[in-house]
Amino acid sequence: MDEKKVSDLQDELFKQQNFEVTDLQDEIRVDELCGRLLRFFRQSLIDEDRLTPAEAGALAHGADYFLREFVIPDRRENIFALRPGRVRQFAATWYIIRNLEPNLAELTDILAGIVAFYHYARRIGKVKDDLLHQVEEECRDLAYYSRRIESFWDIQGDGYFAWEQECSLK
C-alpha cells in the first residue's frame, strides 16, 4: 500500500469524533484506538524527531498513562477535546492519589510525554494551537505539583477533604 493510502486510512481511523466516549463500549473501542495512535506517535518520535527507541518509548508511556488511565476511562473525555484544567487536575490530584509513591520525577516524565503527544497531535492536524498551548501551560507548573505532592504527605486527620478541594476531581 502506498504512503498516500496509508495516510488516508489513518486520517479516517483517527478522526476526532472516533474518540468520543459515552459508554463502556465506546471506552473499550477508544482505548484500543488510542493505543494504535500512540504506536504511530512513538514511531514518529523515532523517525521524524530522531529520538532513540528508549526516549520515544518513555514519552509514549507518559502520554499513554495520562490518556488511557485518566482521560478515557476516568473522565470519559475525547483526547482531542480536553477541557481546560484537565492536565492540572490529573497532575495535582489524580496522579497523587492513584499512586503508592507519587513523586515529582515520575510526574515530570509523564508530563513530558503529554506535551510531546499534543505536539504530535497538532502536527498531524488533530488539535488546534489553543489546546496545545493550554496543555503546555498546565504541564509547566512543576512547582505547584511538587507542593501538592508534599502537602499530600503532610495531611493529618480529616485534612484530605480540604487538600482535594484545592484541585478537585469533581
What does the pLDDT look like over 33-48, one tens digit per residue? 999 999 999 999 999 9
The DSSP H or E segment spanning 151 is: helix 142-153
Residue 15 confidence class, pLDDT cut points 50, 70, 90: confident
pTM of the model: 0.92
Cell of 21: 466516549
DSSP letter for each residue of 38-87: HHHHHHHHHHTS---HHHHHHHHHHHHHIIIIIITTTS---TTSPPTTHH
Cβ burial of 111 (10 Å; 0-12, 13-18, 19+) is: buried
| pLDDT for residue 2 is more than 70 | no
